[in-house]
Amino acid sequence: MVKLHIKRGEESQFLYETTCAVELNELIPQLVRIHNERLKIERLNYEMEELAKHGITLPPNMQGLTEEQISDLRLRDEWEDKCSPSGGYVETKDPLTKRNGRAPNEKMAEVLNRTRQESKAMVSKDNVKADVCLTMDKVKQALDQMKGAVMIVYPMGLPPHDPVRMELEDQEDLSGTQASLQVFEEQTAQLWWAGKDLQRDKKLQDYIGKNEKTKIIAKLQKKGQGAPAREQVISEEERKQMMLHAYSKQEELKKLETCNDDNYLNSAWADPNSLKRQFQGVSDVKWRP
């Protein structure tokens, strides 16, 4: 199996296994789908953490208002009681006034936090260092775990405007956000390797050959962004080691320049007659009393 090390810029994203004979018009959308779903899991991780801390999100017309203003304007709706967490709630006011301040109890909050952390670890970039490949099934499993945890804590469901529900139902609106800049379109994204834009009407083997034990570093780009920066010949860690070695050699030379010690003349390598004695066979002659 060919192993693809997918990067975004200089940052590793995930590993993916495929074959040399795969069509690029099939491979690229698969890679984009995994990339986008990983971003979804990262967003869900944040939103579920906030859900565990401060409860469900308020409707847009209630966000930023005080409790008194909400009561005076009679904006409180019955959805809030329907969407209460299982086992009751704990009052924890949201400093950003975006959530209703009715957080799940400690046990239910632990369910949310443990699940979101496990799901995030399943698709983490650390899997690249561990040489663990990512598949769409594994990404789907991580999302299903998150969805299951939310259903346990909120059996009556979340309100339609809550970001967690919108993410899980693929109804999220990322327009105008920083997150939207990271998302790729399956039909237009480009895959680059060795400074080449891998064309969708070809196969992977047209570029890398037919060796199934190949491992390459490829990068996803949006259409029109041009070729990504080439990989460094040496890594940052290798560069630091080389600089450290050069510095230690420089310091050693400085010490030799200032050293007047001639004890080295007694060393075997400094003896001008050493080679001659070796040829004559008398280099290891020892005298006994």
User: One digit per residue, pLDDT tens: the chain, 289 residues?
Assistant: 899 999 988 889 999 999 999 999 999 999 999 999 999 999 999 999 999 999 988 877 666 666 666 554 555 555 566 677 888 888 888 888 888 888 999 999 999 999 999 999 999 999 999 999 999 999 999 999 999 999 999 998 898 889 999 999 999 888 888 888 889 999 999 999 988 999 999 999 999 999 899 999 999 988 887 777 776 666 677 788 888 888 888 888 887 777 656 665 666 666 777 777 777 766 665 656 5
Q: Give the three-class secondary structure for 130.
A: coil
Q: Clarify whether residues 261 and 132 are in a common domain.
A: no
- H-state helical runs in the chain: 24-54, 67-72, 79-82, 106-122, 126-129, 136-153, 163-168, 205-208, 236-258, 274-280
Kindly state whether residue 287 falls inside one of the protein's structural domains. no
Q: Taking the CA of residue 115 as centre, how many other CA atoms within 13 Å lie in the half-sphere pointing to its CB?
A: 24
Same domain flag for 105 and 203: yes
The amino acid that residue 28 corresponds to is I
Concatenating the DSSP letter of every residue in 180-233 gives GGTPPPTTT-EEEETTEE--TTSBTHHHH-S-TT-EEEEEEE-TTS-PPPPPPS
- For residues 252 and 155, state if they share a domain: no
Structural domain span for residue 244 = 236-280
- Adjacent-strand bridge partners of 15: 5, 133
Half-sphere exposure of 184 (CA within 13 A, CB side): 25
Same domain, 104 and 61: yes
Query: Would 289 be classed as within a structural domain?
Result: no
Two structure tokens written together for 69: 């203003």
Nearest one of 131, 85, 118, 128 to 104, comparing CA atoms: 85
CA angle, 79 as apex, 73 and 81 as ends, to 5°? 100
Residue where a domain stops, chosen among 222, 244, 269: 222
Residue 57 lies in a domain: yes
Asked which of 222, 254, 272 is the last residue of a domain, the reply is 222
**Domain-embedded: residue 230:** no
3-state secondary structure of 20: coil
* Same domain membership, residue 266 and residue 166: no
Residues 165 and 246 in one domain: no
- Same-domain status, 203 and 258: no
Q: How far apart are CA 51 and CA 89, in angstroms?
A: 12
Q: Is residue 112 part of a domain?
A: yes
Strand partners, 104: 89
The total of structural domains in the chain comes to: 2
Q: Is residue 118 part of a domain?
A: yes
Q: d(Cα 237, Cα 281) in Å, to the nearest integer?
A: 50
Dig out the tokens for 215 from the structure: 């491992």
Q: Is the residue at 288 inside a domain?
A: no
Q: Are residues 263 and 206 in the same domain?
A: no
Q: Are residues 188 and 262 in the same domain?
A: no
